Amino acid sequence: MKTPIYMDNHATTPLDPRVLDVMLPYLKEKFGNAASRNHSFGWEADEAVDTARKAVAGLLGASAKEIIFTSGATESNNLALFGAAEYYREKGSHIITCKTEHKAVLDPARWLEQKGFTVTYLDVNPQGEISLDQLADSITDKTVMISLMAANNEIGTLHPVEEIGRLAAERGVLFHCDATQGVAHMDLDVKKMNIDLLSLSAHKIYGPKGVGALYINRAKKPRVRLTPIIHGGGHENGMRSGTLNVSAIAGFGKAAELIRREQPAETARLLALRERLHQGITSQLDFVYLNGHPTRRHPGNLNISFAYVEGESLLMGIKEIAVSSGSACTSASLEPSYVLRALGVGDDLAHSSIRFGLGRFNTEEEVDYTIGRVVETVNRLREMSPLYEMAQDGIDVSKVQWGPGH
């Protein structure tokens, strides 16, 4: 077994060698522009894009014409929110999302608020789940869109996508789903689930960085329409102008094909590894708390808080294991995770949380090594903590009245 060990697959996944094999020709001899329709270089590039489009569509139960390639899920989310808000502004100016969504949804939502839109941010329970009743009660005659993710990137909790889609369809509201984390391990069928817009990113499914997709429902009557946010050339049916990144798109298509073919076995294997990791840690350490839903969660996600241990110290203590103390997009911040705060997790536990993101290339040997290193490091750090000693003696530390100077 080699170190360092990579267990941060929710931040990004390694490129599958089979994906790289598909990409390389389009970085070398097949370098044509897919929009060049007058010669063979353009034709072979365009064929590669068409093949990838069909593969991504097949992963979602969509048609190829419903897939728009973007630079990643952040752009897809922005296009979905801004595009729908602008196009349907005469219908209404209300959007519903959730407090635990990715920043790529929350930040556009806040920007829309500055432009006069009203946004409802749904609460979640201590396991990260929304209330369908609260969602239903939040819909008004001014509601344009519901934007809720499939799987949370920090705590792994799954939203009830099919129930949300059914409710949105019944009330005549668009449903956008950020499926970036969920698509690799959920059976997503956009038609069955009444999903109108869906965002994806290749680098979360063992594809390359810098490419993603937005599914836009064409079967809905009337069909879903968006106002573009990037103009210049009319690429992607006018929805997203710019020369296509052919090699990355080809890789995205291969990554989607592999997910579709290998998902059942891979999901079962990841779930077994996660349970091995969780049981191995909790059987040897006390005061360890699971964040997120115990069962309705991403199979590769384990987010746990270690009371009486500072998260950054733990990360430094296991520095040969790549994990995260928060989502990759906000891990530079010293503030507690906003997702954990939304769950009602206190600042102390939020600061001690570690996200293990298991993936395709992790092994049992790596999991066992990680268990040993985590247990060893937590025990060493707790030996220096008087609070842990008090907790072991049955003292409720949260109720201690500290004297001056503490």
CATH number for 135: 3.40.640.10
Query: For 321, phi and psi rounded to 5 degrees?
Result: -115, 120
Q: Is 364 within a domain?
A: yes
Question: Which range of residues forms the domain containing residue 230?
Answer: 17-258
pLDDT in the model for residue 236: 87
**Tens digit of each residue's pLDDT (9 = 90 or more) over 348-387:** 899 899 999 999 999 999 999 999 999 999 999 999 887 8
Residues 231 and 359 in one domain: no
pLDDT in the model for residue 367: 98
Residues 268 and 245 in one domain: no
Rounded to whole angstroms, the Cα distance separating 134 from 53 reads 36
Q: Which residues are catalytic?
A: 329
Residues 217 and 281 in one domain: no
Among residues 209, 243, 258, which one ends one of the domains?
258
**Tens digit of each residue's pLDDT (9 = 90 or more) over 33-87:** 999 989 999 999 999 999 999 999 999 999 999 999 999 999 999 999 999 999 9
Rounded to whole angstroms, the Cα distance separating 360 from 3 reads 17
Residues 236 and 311 in one domain: no
Helix (H, G, I), strand (E, B) or coil at 269: helix
pLDDT in the model for residue 396: 72
Rounded to whole angstroms, the Cα distance separating 205 from 202 reads 6
Q: Is 114 within a domain?
A: yes
Residues 274 and 236 in one domain: no
Among residues 258, 286, 305, which one ends one of the domains?
258
Residues 73 and 208 in one domain: yes
pLDDT in the model for residue 402: 57
CATH number for 363: 3.90.1150.10
Those residues with Cβ within 8 angstroms of residue 59's Cβ, 6 or more apart along the chain or in another chain: 183, 188, 256, 257, 259, 260
Those residues with Cβ within 8 angstroms of residue 167's Cβ, 6 or more apart along the chain or in another chain: 132, 135, 136, 139, 146
Q: Is 390 within a domain?
A: no
Q: Is 157 within a domain?
A: yes
Among residues 225, 258, 291, which one ends one of the domains?
258
Residues 197 and 283 in one domain: no
pLDDT along the chain (406 residues), means of 10: 95 98 97 93 95 98 97 97 95 97 97 97 98 98 97 97 98 97 95 97 98 96 92 88 96 98 96 98 97 97 94 92 70 75 92 95 98 97 84 71 58
Residues 207 and 279 in one domain: no
pLDDT in the model for residue 329: 47
Q: Is 204 within a domain?
A: yes
Residues 123 and 75 in one domain: yes
Helix (H, G, I), strand (E, B) or coil at 252: helix
Residue type at position 399: K
Degrees, nearest 5: CA angle 323-253-361:
30
pLDDT in the model for residue 333: 55
The secondary structure element, H or E, covering residue 182 is none
Q: Is 404 within a domain?
A: no
pLDDT in the model for residue 353: 94
Side-chain-facing half-sphere of 56: CA atoms under 13 Å: 34
pLDDT in the model for residue 226: 95
Q: Is 394 within a domain?
A: no
Rounded to whole angstroms, the Cα distance separating 388 from 63 reads 56
**Tens digit of each residue's pLDDT (9 = 90 or more) over 147-172:** 999 999 999 999 999 999 999 999 99
Q: Is 403 within a domain?
A: no
pTM of the model: 0.94
List, as one string, the DSSP characters of 24-91: GGGGTT----TT--SSHHHHHHHHHHHHHHHHHHHHHT--GGGEEEESSHHHHHHHHHHHHHHHTTTT
Residues 249 and 149 in one domain: yes
Instruction: Give me the number of domains the chain comprises.
Output: 2
Residues 242 and 315 in one domain: no
Residues 159 and 227 in one domain: yes
